[in-house]
Each structure stands twice: as C-alpha cells, then as structure tokens.
Amino acid sequence: MSFLIDGFNLIYKFPELEALMYENDLSGAREGLLSLLKKYEKITGKHIRIVFDGKKERSIEIKSEKCGTIDVYYSLEYSADHLIKQFIKKDINPRSKTVITSDKDIIVYVTRHRARVKTSEEFADEVQKTIREWEEAQVPEKEVDPSLSSEEIAYWEKLFTRRKKS
C-alpha cells in the first residue's frame, strides 16, 4: 500500500507546522512535514508520494525530487489537486493507493476511481501516534526492584570490604 498526500492540506493538521505557515515560513513547514513523514515511512514501510502546490521556491522550477525515499512533487503552474487527480487517473491499480486529503472535490474524484481515502486529520493523528509509540518502545524499561542473589551480595560485600582495608 502507498499514500498519495495533498501536502499543504496535511501541513495545517500539525499545529507546529501550521504556526510556521502563518509566519510565512513555507519551506520550514514543508521540511517539518517531510521530516515527520520520513520517520513514519521508516517505521511503517509504506511508500509515500506527496504533492505540493506551486514551486519549491520562486526561482526554482523543479517538478519532482526525492526526500529520502519519499517522492516529492511540485505542481508548478497547476494545482496540487490537478496533479493528484492525474496520478490516480493514470494509475493501473488505484485501489492500492490511499489518498490523504480533506478536500471534498479530490475525495469525490478519487473515490470514483476506487482509490482509498483518509482525511488529513485522521492521517495526522495516525502519524503522531505511530511515531510516539515507536519512540516510547525505544526507551528501555528500568527494572523497578532489581534483586540480587545471595551469591551476588556476598561477592559485592567481599569486594567492598577489601577496598575499605586497603
């Protein structure tokens, strides 16, 4: 399974990235989203393709690039909506794609082509939960009350008693 994401639609579902957008830090918000998605992709193994409206930067006419293993597309003179629809229309197996958007027009279009849909809100929650659970699992649990056998206690007592005499 793979995801086709409406980039700016998803950015606004993460409060810290939304704040960057309101500060006119478009590239910071985009990089923040890509960073989250790279973690998510690494954890889940699901392929991600993301589409952003417009250009990467005003003077750069890049249509696509890679961010790790994520395929990143810029719509240039078209809308991201148009590009997402084209990807689904040309896909030989749209049922294997899940489109991430809350845009009703895109939802209707991709549903007609039998692609799956997940709202940006649902997906943002899933990404945050997946990353949080993965990070929590990386922290080893401490033993609450480690117990020592009588042999271990005798060993340590002997070791410290010798040190005191020295």
Spatial CB neighbours of 25, under 8 Å, sequence gap ≥ 6: none
The CATH number given to 2-165 is 3.40.50
Alpha carbon dihedral 133, 134, 135, 137, in 10-degree steps, equals 90
What are the start-end ranges of the E strands in 15-91?
A: 47-52, 64-67, 70-74
Spatial CB neighbours of 48, under 8 Å, sequence gap ≥ 6: 2, 3, 5, 37, 40, 41, 69, 70, 71
Q: Which pLDDT belongs to residue 101?
A: 96
Q: Which pLDDT belongs to residue 159?
A: 81
pLDDT digits (tens, 9 = 90+) for 118-148: 999 999 999 999 999 999 888 766 666 677 7
pLDDT digits (tens, 9 = 90+) for 18-75: 999 999 999 999 999 999 999 999 999 999 999 998 777 776 777 889 999 999 999 8
Asked if residues 52 and 30 have their Cβ atoms less than 8 Å apart, the reply is yes
Q: Which pLDDT belongs to residue 166?
A: 52
What DSSP element (H or E) covers 99? strand 97-100
Q: Residue 8 has which token pair?
A: 């700016």
Q: Which pLDDT belongs to residue 62?
A: 78
Give the closest residue to 4 by CA, choosing from 118, 90, 127.
Answer: 118
Cβ atoms within 10 Å, residue 4: 26
Q: Residue 130 has which token pair?
A: 């997946």
Rounded distance between C-alpha atoms, residue 51 and residue 139, angstroms:
34
The 3-state DSSP class for residue 111 equals helix
Rounded distance between C-alpha atoms, residue 157 and residue 163, angstroms:
10
149 vs 19 pLDDT, higher one: 19
Domain ranges of the chain: 2-165
pTM summary value: 0.79
Q: Which pLDDT belongs to residue 149?
A: 83
pLDDT digits (tens, 9 = 90+) for 66-117: 999 999 999 888 889 999 999 999 999 999 999 999 999 999 999 999 999 9
